[in-house]
Amino acid sequence: MNIYIDFDDCLCETARALSGLAKELFGKDVPYENIQFFNLQKSFDLDEAQYEELMIKAHLPEVLMTYEETKGASETVNKWLDEGHNVSIITGRPSSAYEPSRKWLDEHGLERVKLFCLNKYGRDSFIKNSEFTLELEDYYKMKFDVAIEDSPLAFKFFDHLPDLKVMVYDRPWNHNAELPGDNFIRCMDWEYIGKQVEQIEV
């Protein structure tokens, strides 16, 4: 099988880290459990300058490397790799964050997975024509059987794959999201994701 995995808040606890950063930088005390929106500017009630500062700090290599692994992620992914599945990490992180993101994966036992930065948001700083970056037209040529994703805003990137099974990693900001179809399955943890994927026949 070809498996798509989002990085932030699927493989690692990014929102928990950013909750701490927002408090440290701006005194915004919004615990992880109270993050209602994927749009963190809205969740943390930040102005444009504050949000930009938060995002710059959040993507510094030394900060990215501190993000905690989501329990069970590397164990499940390595099991899939051992079984011969093809696993790609598709992240919306800016391409400037590729090296520390790659290093994070390697240090968490995920050196065998491929990592791509997908230009989901039309960033001007996006590095084009490199082996680790994807424009949307490149991404849409890829075929996946399973996706693991937490962001309702990313669901539209699966519209071209009607047979795709989407494991929606349960997070506070997707609790109120309407899942687009029966192929979207809410998952509480990686153990449950692993069991769901075991049942899929391709």
Structurally, the chain folds into a number of domains equal to 2
Predicted pLDDT of residue 72: 99
CATH number where 105 lies: 3.40.50.1000
Residues 48 and 8 in one domain: no
Same domain for 54 and 78, yes or no, is: no
Does one domain contain both 103 and 185? Answer: yes
**Token duo for residue 14:** 């990014």
pLDDT at residue 190 in the model: 99
Got the DSSP string for 45-63?
T--HHHHHHHHHHHTSHHH
Which residues span the domain enclosing 20?
14-64
Tens-digit pLDDT profile for residues 63-83: 999 999 999 999 999 999 999
> Among 29, 49, 64, which residue terminates a domain?
64
Output the pLDDT for position 54.
96
Tell me: do 24 and 80 sit in the same domain.
no
Distances (CA, A) of 54 to 50, 93, 117, 176: 6, 14, 20, 25
pLDDT at position 131: 77
Pull the structure tokens for residue 24. 């440290």
Distance from C-alpha of 114 to C-alpha of 48, rounded to nearest angstrom: 33
Residue 22 sits in the same domain as residue 75? no
As given in the structure block, the two tokens for residue 69 are 């692994």
What pLDDT is attached to residue 126?
A: 46
Sign of the C-alpha dihedral computed for residues 192, 166, 37 and 77 taken in this order: positive
- C-alpha span between 198 and 32 (Å, rounded): 30
Is 76 in the same domain as 145? yes
Asked whether residue 52 falls in the same domain as residue 128, the answer is no
End-to-end CA distance of the chain: 7
Q: Token pair of 140, please?
A: 């849409």
Cβ neighbours, 10 Å, residue 150: 23
Kindly report, residue by residue over 134-186, the tens digit of the pLDDT: 888 999 999 999 999 999 999 999 999 999 999 999 999 999 999 999 999 99
Phi and psi at residue 27, to the nearest 5°: 70, 20
As a whole number of angstroms, the distance between CA 78 and CA 80 comes to 5
Question: Rounded distance, CA 186 to CA 174, Å?
Answer: 10
Residue 174 tokens, joined: 């997707």
